[in-house]
Structure formats: structure tokens, C-alpha cells
Amino acid sequence: MTQQSSMHYRLSEEMQSLVYWSSIYSPADDDIDSIRAAYDAMCLHYTLPRDGTVNIEDKTVPQLNHPVNVRLYSPLGEAPATGWPCILYLHGGGWMVGNLDSHEFITRYLCRDLNVAVLSVDYRLTPEHHFPAAYEDCETVYHWLYQHGLQWKINPNQIVLMGDSAGGNLAAALAVQLQHTGAQACGLAMIYPCLSSGFDTASCQQQADAPLLSLADMHDYLQAYAPNTSDWQDLRLSPLLAQDFSDMPRSFIAVAEYDPLSDDGRIFADKLKQANIATEFYLGKGLLHGSLRLVRDCPVVQDLYQRMLSSLKPMFN
């Protein structure tokens, strides 16, 4: 994850702090265990201790070949008779890092602030598991929830797909695949998602050396996740290439200004709007990729979060 080039950007104090702490938690070497250990430590830095404001339970979604571990956050009160509305949260991390702990800085607060269940997914990671393993795990969890959600007091008809970065990729890919199945999610929310494999947008060129995520980093992540280039046109990897957006759910997409992936989210939002899908697009001015972690510390990220909450609420109606 690139640290250089921050001097070329007019970064706020909060963004400079994010770059600094990301460099403090840089891995000792290129070994995947070192990379994950550094990422986990960085995530912990931004995660407050649990405070008892929501119920938290680790569970497993049964699947014959590969059961998937998940973490369920649910409000403290009595569940509605139809079950809690639910956000299925897919974490970022380049399909390579991240786990059930890494994004608790956001999942707990979504549960508390929206009074809905949040289910985060511990999907398989690369390099041990290549495309489409991560996608298939997320799809498995969604279909299980859709069929059996009431077992966990979740309303199967009120599931919103949500993810950041690589998780946004997985959420968008799943929504594209769910079109015309009769089992579409009731909403889609993405923060600085990667949605294609071409990396030929204007933002990829203009923000190629952005701090925290460079274009070179994205190439490395993509090649690690999908080493077979024949997969790069697969809509489960590059949902931006879909020709049909007519049965997509109501959507919220936020991007960071200083991010090679910025145009992915913008173009996807435009395609949704052209298909008459209710869509809100948010450009985080001055933000870097990964800045969602500063949700408590940065006014722009706090604004993004509040706009996202406002956009999520009607998805559950």
C-alpha cells in the first residue's frame, strides 16, 4: 500500500494522519502473514473497544464444500416479528487482507445508528484462494440469508448489500448477478469500490500515485486475486462491464477524490441512473482511499457517513 507522493496532494491534517499511521503499520516484509499482521494492527488502531451498545455473535453459514464464518451485530431490543432489516457487509482489503475484526470500526456503528442487523462475512482471501472464491462465499451467505434469515431473526426481504473497496466490488458483483432472479437485495451501498479490471479511467491516470492506494497497488491486488487474465471480463470480477442495470437495487456510492478508483464508482452511478435506478453519488473531497476509518475524526468522512445513513434508511422501507 503506497505511502509515497503524499507531498503532491493538498492533504488535510486528518488525511496526513491516516498516511502517517498507515506507514507506522507497514509490514516487515512481503510475506502474506507480515502483510496481514500489519493490516490487522492498523485496523485495531482505529477500532474502539466494544461498549455493549449492540449484540455481537460469531456464527457460521453452513455450506457443503466451504462453510463461511460470519459475525452478526444486532440491536439490543426485541426483534420485529418479521426479523431485523440487515446489512450484509463485505470488507475491503484488496481481496487479500481483512477479516471479521478489521471493519468493526464501521459495522458496530451501522447496527447502532440504523437499528438494523449487520452481518459481516469472513470470505476466503488471496493468495490462498483465487477468484471466484471470495465472490462465491459472499453469494453463499446471501442466498442462505435469503432462504433462512429468520433463523437468525433477519428479514430475508430487507437485505442491503454493502462493502468498501474490494468489498464494494463483491457487493456490486453480487447485485449484478441477482438481477432478474426474483431474489434481488433491497439496496446496495459502496464506498470507494473497485468495479473493473481495465484501470483505464481518467482517475486511474490522474491519481495513479495517490497515497495509500496507487494504480500499481491495484494492479498487484488484481493479479493476486485473479491471476488468470481470462477472468478479467467476468462480471463477477468487473461488474462495471454489465450491459444491463435494469433490475439493480436502490444504491448509494461514495468515492474518495484522491483515489485511482474514483471514476469506477462515478461511472457505475451514472449507469444506474441511466437505468432509472434511484442512486445517490457522493464525492469525498480531499479524501484518500481507506479514509472511512476516520469516521469519528474527520468532518468530511463524518459527512459521508451521515449522507450514507440517510441514503440507507429508505432502502429498508
Active site residues: 165, 259, 289
As a whole number of angstroms, the distance between CA 162 and CA 168 comes to 6
Contact assessment for residue 190 and residue 249, using Cβ atoms and an 8 Å cutoff: no
Strand order in the sheet with 187-191: 55-61, 68-74, 117-121, 84-90, 154-164, 187-191, 251-258, 279-288
List, in sequence order, every beta strand (DSSP E) within the chain.
Answer: 55-61, 68-74, 84-90, 117-121, 154-164, 187-191, 251-258, 279-288
Backbone angles phi, psi at 226, to 5 degrees: -130, 75
As a whole number of angstroms, the distance between CA 173 and CA 126 comes to 18
Beta bridge mates, 55: 74
- Collapse the DSSP code of 57 into the 3-class scheme (helix H, G, I; strand E, B; otherwise coil) and give the result: strand
Exposed (0-12), middle (13-18) or buried (19+): which is 126, by Cβ within 10 Å? Answer: buried
Amino acid of residue 91: H
As a whole number of angstroms, the distance between CA 289 and CA 280 comes to 19
What radius of gyration do the chain's Cα atoms show? Answer: 18
Residues near 241 by Cβ (< 8 Å), separated by ≥ 6? Answer: 196, 233, 235
Distances (CA, A) of 177 to 39, 133, 171, 207, 237: 30, 15, 10, 30, 11
